[in-house]
Structure 1
């Protein structure tokens, strides 16, 4: 029995020691009472880093997965649902982009609400409503209905995602913030790994359940959509156990409540009594707000007064530049990433139809795709309606998707250390420039393993570059404008996702080269724009 416990505890000790090396500041040393009033950065640093932060990262897992599942799960359904819902290539582009289109419509609304009513409420109710809509989407019997559900889910998920970004920034001290956001990227990558695994487990099953005398049929791909709503329900429950952001409470002139939150975090992290927290009073932060009781006109005026500084110098120029980078980066990463399951399915369809090389040479990726995209346009001899032939969706399609996601995890893990060594700007320039180069090389790829390798590196680099943009936003704007800035920038990113996913099938219909040019140029443009980002001034060191 002793040996069994030892075998269990040994890996736990290894993980614990590794985590302590990664976050060396988690041990809180005794300090003298801090001089009043205390700034937020000093107050949050006095809470230390420990159990509360670990529990928060654990809660972020389903929350991050919910955001990824909401926008990505549909891409694994398209090859299997194309005959059931009579999907065209343009329909598939709409389905890939509808979640992002919904996010665009409410970007300003959610940003204002999160900065007005709080981060926690937006996350709780947002994840709950998204879960309900995601579950309902599995009952869609027509393409337009599935498109509508994905649009509405996108409308809702925009709020909790933006609130989550601000919450993580406001619950960690500045020197840990970059690493936490990089680990959030790891969470997203783990979600991207779990989706193809889940799809591989469920979708290939040739089973179905009929309800209401055959009016409703629940088959494997519908069941997959239902299962994808589980992280959203779980995130709703997880965030309910955490307090409101203390920085939001400070900005809303509620310092007593913010101090209680700091004490709670301090007590959980250190195991000491909350009254031993060295900070006794907090410095309020300037914030523009309005009350809903003042009436619609006054509320709108107050809302504009709240966000007006965001569209004035010097914030406006930074906002335009960062939003442009987010737009281009999302055109690159999300277009190819969301279409990869469909493209892999088309490659497998071509390979099955041509087991031996044509004309004694290996086909390029464009020759495979150009050949496969016409498979459903062949009409039977006695009917003018094209016959629907499902693309081949085998284990290779899902394994390739898993490999791409694993590459992202490795990339984020490396970037977590590099970002503190080389800086955000240099990391972004490298990721976008190298990603654009990979996209150009992919056009001439012939070997299937080479296609997979290049695609994996591209998706990882472009995703890391896009994730780093969020850190730049947090560092560039004050608390009272941060969530709104995140919402505006994310909105531009989602516009890029919509534009990219709609243009992809259009350009693909004209020729295979078009999508690769679009994605490659978008990434290279982002690399150039990153060089124009203003450098952040280093803050003065805090006095002990």
Structure 2
């Protein structure tokens, strides 16, 4: 008979479940959630230019359409974080993905750009907490020794999913079919089909999340110890292939403050938020929020407009020139499309889409090595180094008239996107469980809010003062790296957790 241990700390109890099949399955589920979110929220990168001819959208309207999804994400992140902390990660995540699929599918049948924006806003608002909640669920089901590495790898999934969208667009967008739907007065064509394809993964994610376990750490934090033990035994059985009776834990405790029951949704939400805006968590919230804001405003806009930037870089209008900077090629492309307006202008260059896929694949591969680099140098040094190197490369993009040298500097500049995952690991580790989902959603909300501003600013600057755009966003990236000096080291994080556990 196996001796049972009472009052085992949660981290020790989770470590005793082992690391194996369950963690791989959970990583797969959370990765599918990230893919579904990326496909739906960032689909505007392909759908907006592809629909321009049919919907007759201006440059300003396209900027609004491109920024609308992130606006939806911003406006609901706080709510989803609250619901996840009070109703459960798994349940809320499944609801998010279901609503996202329904609204995203309806957007494919939009008769004009306004209705398209409304449904994309709705689907993205539904998915506002998907990334943060999946990261929270994954981290709370993974033992501490493997947690950071696994969360960092989700950035690889994020980047590869972004590239996969380009690969899917290559065969779909050129299709010439057109079916008239009289009741909506629209023609169902290739870009609408692509919109449906991008929405489909959200439905599969909703089912997958519903079939997995709830976070055992969340269950302990809301005083559902029996359910938490049942979940931990289940994880042990999947990882070890042994009977649950061999799991040595009989009771588990959480060395953190537990959730207090508060009546009324607004009072409850306020109670869940106020700890983040008061000492000792206030400094953490401000620091992580600021770093998210600076990272997102500098890099996320380039990912949204990446197909457009690469398309202008590869475009035949400037593609044969080798003595033009990236901005000069973009300007030449825009001057050409302004003087020659035709339906083909709304198509995307196939080779350009392959380049987008290739760039995202390169970033994904780099991210796979990031966890090893973090283990060797530490998260703090990696974040600072990556931000400064990327920022300097951003400043150099237009200093060379050698086409492919500019492209290399541009790819190095985009490497700072890998720090999104690194920042998320900090957001997960630096806040206690009872406000963790709320904290991750809130800090991501701040970052995405800055990204909406950056998306519209970048579009305007590319068209009028392209070089200035790289100087501004490259400079912001360098500054965020310098501010990263204030990030606590892993040793300091351990001390913070010990202070949290000392709370009444």
TM-score by length of 1: 0.86
Partner of 1:364: 325
Q: Give the match's secondary structure for 1:83.
A: helix
Aligned counterpart for 1:219 among listed residues 186, 189, 198: 189
CA distance in 2, matches of 1:93, 1:411: 30
Question: For the residues of structure 2 that align with 1:307 and 1:215, how far apart are their CA atoms?
Answer: 46
Structure 2 SS opposite 1:373: helix
Residue by residue, what CA displacement relative to the aligned partner does 1:164-209 show, whole Å, maximum 9, x if unpaired?
1111110011111101112211211221221111011211222222
Q: Which residue of 2 aligns with 1:505?
A: 459
- Take 2:392 and 2:488, find their aligned partners in 1: how far apart are those partners? 25
1:290 and 2:254 matched: no
Contact 2:380 2:488 in 1 (8 A): no
CA positional deviation for 1:364:
1.9
Runs (5+) with no aligned partner, structure 2: 499-504
| CA separation of 1:302 and 1:149: change in aligned 2, threshold 3 A | closer
Residue pair 2:317, 2:333 contacting (<8 A) in 1 also: no
Q: CA deviation at 1:354?
A: 5.4
Distance in 2, matches of 1:225 and 1:430, equals 38
- 8 Å contact kept, 2:173–2:347: no
Structure 2 residue corresponding to 1:492, chosen from 421, 437, 446: 446
Check the 8 A contact 1:32/1:278 in 2, yes or no. Answer: yes
Answer whether contact 1:137 1:225 (CA < 8 A) is retained.
yes
**Structure 2 CA distance, aligned partners of 1:55 and 1:205?**
36
State yes or no: 1:478 paired with 2:432: yes
- Taking the TM superposition and a 5 Å limit, the aligned residue runs for 1:319-398 are 319-349=285-315, 352-353=316-317, 357=321, 362-378=323-339, 390=345, 393-398=348-353
C-alpha distance in 2 between matches for 1:155 and 1:124: 14
TM-score for both structures, normalised by structure 2: 0.93
Residue pair 1:247, 1:258 contacting (<8 A) in 2 also: yes
Equivalence map 1:286-325=2 (5 Å): 286-290=257-261, 294=263, 296=264, 299-325=265-291
TM-superposition CA deviations, 1:433-468 (whole Å, max 9, x none) = 111112112123434433433333322x21211210
Shift of 1:391: 5.2
Question: Could you say which residue in structure 2 is the equivalent of 1:137?
Answer: 107
Return the alpha-carbon distance in structure 2 between the equivalents of residues 365 and 270 of structure 1: 54
Counterpart among 509, 515, 518 of residue 472 in structure 2: 518
User: What per-residue deviation string (whole Å, max 9, x for no partner) do you get for residues 43-91 of structure 1?
Assistant: 0000001111121122223211012112222102233222112222222
Distance across 2 between alignment mates of 1:391 and 1:139: 18
Does the 8 Å contact 1:377/1:387 carry over to 2?
no
Mapping of residues 203-242 of structure 1, within 5 Å: 203-212=173-182, 215-242=185-212
Is 1:442 matched up with 2:397? Answer: yes
User: Mean Cα displacement is larger for which, 299-308 or 461-470?
Assistant: 299-308
For residues 50-61 of structure 1, the aligned pairs below 5 Å read 50-61=20-31
Structure 1 residue matching 2:252: 3-state secondary structure: coil
- Give the whole-Å Cα distance in 2 for the aligned partners of 1:417 and 1:168: 19
Q: Is the 8 A contact 2:152 2:367 kept in 1?
A: yes
Cα distance in 1 between the residues matched to 2:157 and 2:314:
30
SS of equivalent residue, structure 1 residue 47: coil
Closer/same/farther in 2, CA of residues 454 and 208 from structure 1, 3 Å limit: farther
Structure 2 CA distance, aligned partners of 1:124 and 1:177?
23
Note if contact 2:49-2:62 (Cα within 8 Å) is conserved in structure 1.
no
User: How many equivalent residue pairs?
Assistant: 495
Among 360, 381, 385, the residue aligned to 1:426: 381
CA contact (8 A) 2:30 2:138 kept: no
- 2:78 and 2:475 mapped to 1: Cα distance? 29
Return closer, same or farther for 1:354/1:337 CA change in 2, 3 Å cut-off: closer
Cα distance in 2 for partners of 1:369, 1:197 equals 22
Q: 1:93 to 1:33 in 2, by over 3 A?
A: farther
Tell me the alpha carbon deviations over residues 244-289 of structure 1, each in whole angstroms, 9 at most, x when there is no partner.
1111110001111101100111111111111110011111453234
Deviates more, 1:241-250 or 1:134-143: 134-143
Asked if 2 retains the 8 angstrom alpha-carbon contact of 1:94 and 1:502, the reply is yes
Contact 1:138–1:222 (8 Å) recurs in 2: yes
1:510 and 1:287 map into 2 onto residues whose CA distance is: 53
> What 5-or-longer segments of structure 1 have no aligned partner?
1-30, 380-385
Aligned twin of 1:263 = 233
The alpha carbon displacement at 1:233 in A equals 0.9
Once the two structures are overlaid, the 10-residue window that deviates more, 207-216 or 108-117, is 207-216
1:200 paired with 2:161, answer: no
Show the 5 A alignment for 1:22-41.
33=3, 35-41=5-11
The one-character-per-residue Cα deviations of 1:319-350 (angstroms, maximum 9, x if unpaired) are: 1111111111111221111111112223344x
State the SS of the aligned residue for 1:210. strand
Partner in structure 2 of residue 9 of structure 1:
none
Please give the alpha-carbon distance, in whole angstroms, between the structure 2 residues aligned to 1:356 and 1:435.
28
User: 1:473-519: per-residue Cα shift (whole Å, max 9, x none)?
Assistant: 11211001111110111001101210110111222343212221221
Aligned with 2:366 (options 383, 407, 411):
411
Q: Secondary structure at the match of 1:233?
A: helix
Residue 236 of structure 1 and its aligned partner are, at CA, apart by 0.7
In the aligned structure 2, how far is the partner of 1:443 from the partner of 1:34?
A: 65
